Structure 1
Amino acid sequence: MRFTHETLPQRVVFAPGDAPAAVAGEVARLGVRRVMVIAAPAESALADAVSAEVPVAVRHDEVVMHVPVEVAERARAAAAGARADALLCVGGGSTTGLAKAVAMTGSPKAGLPIIAVPTTYAGSEATNVWGLTQGETKTTGVDDLVLPRSIVYDASLMLTLPVEMSVASGLNAMAHCVDSMWGPRADPIDQALAAEGIHALSRGLPAVVADPAGIEGREQTLYGAYLAAVAFASAGSGMHHKICHVLGGMFNLPHAQTHAVVLPHVLAFNAPHAPGAERRIARALGTPRAPEGLADLYAALHAPAALKDYGMPEDGIARAVAPIRAAIPAGNPAPVTEENLTALLRAAWEGAKS
């Protein structure tokens, strides 16, 4: 067994029902005095509550999916104008992504520290991955400056997340786990974290569907989503995420639903060529075969099924093939050709069973 694993430096605070005090504690620990709060208008009341004990210098609510460059530039200008020395983001992956875009403009050595308070299961808060979109092209990269210094997880904040969005967001986290089994830097530690993440998500999400007001399912899903993000940050972006980033940027598709739709097709595509990873995924799902186990979970959750339902045009299949092939890591378990990738995208577009 020979590998190198890097663990990212970050504080993680699980504080059910106690986010305001936990956030105030993290702000005090950082010694900052002028905090920029980033939250979409829909999260305004929640952001008010979470930041009640924080020295807020400015509030910023222009949050846009996939972080367009011009939106990031306006947020950076707002932070500079307020002389912010820290960022508090309250929301989902788009909100965290905007905070990361602002953090990148700080000192080349230090950046602007981020305290993240997630309200979905996106997992961006636990990674050093950033993304910006210009036109139809989404560019991603890795920079330790964008890794939030602290995460405050409060499962009670998830109770207002609708079940349908909870399912899509949780399956986005599941995709982080699956990609971590064969990502370009995947190692045994990533695979162990990912397997535990799959186990937690496959139990937490059905509990959320069965009892949306119950805290236990939300906590288990949040725990699984964190493990998924940590594994993914180390293993790197594999075939699944490369497909989704290209499609999201080209067609402005909703992030979580796109990842949820594409996942079963990528798992079925790669599983025959990665038997060890397939067995790990199957064990975590509690099923003899991973693709079938995931299909059963999707059926139980009434999960998103077709890209055409979220705005992708049929002619987009052919348009997306070349940029996706160029983005997929060379070490993907299954060989990727124009023909089999086209077939995968068509099945995901139609909602065909994988």
Structure 2
Amino acid sequence: MQPFVYDGLPSRVVFGRGTLSQLSEEIEHLGCSRALVLATPQQHEQASRVLEQLGKKGAGLYADAVMHTPVEVTEHALQVVKELNVDCTVAIGGGSTIGLGKAIALRTGLPQIAIPTTYAGSEMTPILGETRDGIKATQRTLEVLPETVIYDVDLTLTLPAVMSGTSGINAIAHAVEALYARDCNPVIALMAEEGIAALARSLPVIASDPTHAEARSDALYGAWLCGTCLGSVGMSLHHKLCHTLGGSFNLPHAETHTIVLPHALAYNAPAVPGAMARIRRALGCDDAAAGLFDLGRAVGAPSGLAELGFTEADVERATDIAIQNPYWNPREIEATGIHQLLSNAQAGRRPNADSGEAQ
């Protein structure tokens, strides 16, 4: 057994069906009484019902969260926080909403409750990615870790099938990179493999039957594990590429992760044979990178960045940005290799046999 360090993150998790009904109790558990509910415009109606459910504990609603947590949106939300004199936030939604809650917590110290309705995993991490002037930068601090996370399987039953698939593969990306992170440890490796397996078996079922409660429960369980992995260890090439594509090209978060992951894994494969073996076992396939690509096809996700509006002409600029201040990675970051990786992802080519090549 190799030496390791394991830091358990101080968050409270409430998991099950119908657990949204415990929100008021969880606010009291934090010693709070005036919650600001956060959401995106698309989830305004759902957030309004949560605010109504809170009664006197609901101070107001801010439903202008957007992708990639631009600082100007955070600044606007902070004005509302001040005007309403709130003492905590409740973020209901995916990574966009939870990211806003984190950005507010960083600047105010307010406690957070996160209620994820996707499989993004941001709720379990002390990581905040913010976009300023077209560049997305991340930081890791316990100041942005939600104090409480309420997982309610029932809230995911209406998540569209394709969105479920891309959100779930986004979660898998967290576990994949955790397996070859510089600071991985045996506990996180177990969580990562189990998280990948839970999502890999449930996402195709959800694609054919979005209301399948057992598959939804498995997927949310897997997302929790994968998010915990991301929160406990460092990120590598895959996340650097996705942060570049999201922050500088405004590509949608989950779809971008889904498309890039097989190619980033293929690039790193020669350097991480042990991680590749675990991923193959979790996916139940002979080729980890190709297996993840095929999982994307099974859930109806886009296969190439071109489908998101990313052009061949964009590859050069994205490469230049991505190789600046790179995250630690098990394989050396080479501009030529990254350019080829992004070109393969742009065109939607299928990775071949864990080799870094594409068909």
Quote how far apart the aligned CAs of 1:63 are. 1.1
Does the aligned pair in 2 maintain the 1:182–1:235 contact within 8 Å? Answer: no
Cα-to-partner distance string for 1:190-232 (whole Å, 9 max, x where unaligned)? 2111100001000110111121111111111111011001011
Residue number among 109, 116, 119 corresponding to 1:118 in the alignment: 116
Cα-to-partner distance string for 1:90-111 (whole Å, 9 max, x where unaligned)? 11100000111111122xxxx1
User: What are the within-5 Å matches in structure 2 for residues 42-61 of structure 1?
Assistant: 42-51=42-51, 52-53=53-54, 55-61=57-63
Matched, 1:349 2:346: yes
Cα RMSD between the aligned structures? 1.3
User: What are the within-5 Å matches in structure 2 for residues 317-336 of structure 1?
Assistant: 317-330=315-328, 332-336=329-333
User: What are the within-5 Å matches in structure 2 for residues 46-195 of structure 1?
Assistant: 46-51=46-51, 52-53=53-54, 55-106=57-108, 111-195=109-193
Quote how far apart the aligned CAs of 1:33 are. 1.3
Percent of residue pairs identical: 43
Quote how far apart the aligned CAs of 1:313 are. 3.0
Does the aligned pair in 2 maintain the 1:184–1:329 contact within 8 Å? Answer: no
**Whole-angstrom distance in 1 between the partners of 2:350 and 2:16:** 39
- SS of 2:115's equivalent in the other structure is strand
- SS of 1:226's equivalent in the other structure is helix
TM-score (norm 2): 0.94
User: CA separation of 1:296/1:309 partners in 2, compared to 1, >3 Å: closer, same or farther?
Assistant: closer
Does the aligned pair in 2 maintain the 1:38–1:88 contact within 8 Å? Answer: yes
Matched, 1:229 2:227: yes
Does the aligned pair in 2 maintain the 1:251–1:311 contact within 8 Å? Answer: no
**Whole-angstrom distance in 1 between the partners of 2:15 and 2:293:** 31
Quote how far apart the aligned CAs of 1:272 are. 2.1
- SS of 1:326's equivalent in the other structure is coil
**Whole-angstrom distance in 2 between the partners of 1:309 and 1:182:** 29
**Whole-angstrom distance in 1 between the partners of 2:6 and 2:135:** 31
Cα-to-partner distance string for 1:114-172 (whole Å, 9 max, x where unaligned)? 00111111111010101111121001101111111101111111111111111110110
**Whole-angstrom distance in 2 between the partners of 1:134 and 1:72:** 11
**Whole-angstrom distance in 2 between the partners of 1:341 and 1:89:** 35
Structure 1, unpaired ranges of 5+: none
Quote how far apart the aligned CAs of 1:329 are. 2.8
**Whole-angstrom distance in 1 between the partners of 2:293 and 2:163:** 18
- SS of 1:303's equivalent in the other structure is coil
Cross-structure match for 2:32: 32
Quote how far apart the aligned CAs of 1:269 are. 1.2
Query: Partner amino acid for 1:245?
Result: H
- SS of 1:198's equivalent in the other structure is helix
Cross-structure match for 1:23: 23
**Whole-angstrom distance in 1 between the partners of 2:307 and 2:50:** 35
Structure 2, unpaired ranges of 5+: 352-359
**Whole-angstrom distance in 1 between the partners of 2:209 and 2:242:** 30
Quote how far apart the aligned CAs of 1:346 are. 0.4
User: What are the within-5 Å matches in structure 2 for residues 267-282 of structure 1?
Assistant: 267-282=265-280
Cross-structure match for 1:204: 202
Query: Partner amino acid for 1:18?
Result: T
Quote how far apart the aligned CAs of 1:45 are. 2.6
**Whole-angstrom distance in 1 between the partners of 2:50 and 2:191:** 29
Does the aligned pair in 2 maintain the 1:199–1:284 contact within 8 Å? Answer: yes
Query: Partner amino acid for 2:10?
Result: P
Does the aligned pair in 2 maintain the 1:119–1:158 contact within 8 Å? Answer: yes
Cα-to-partner distance string for 1:55-80 (whole Å, 9 max, x where unaligned)? 11121111111111111101111111
Q: How many residues are aligned here?
A: 348
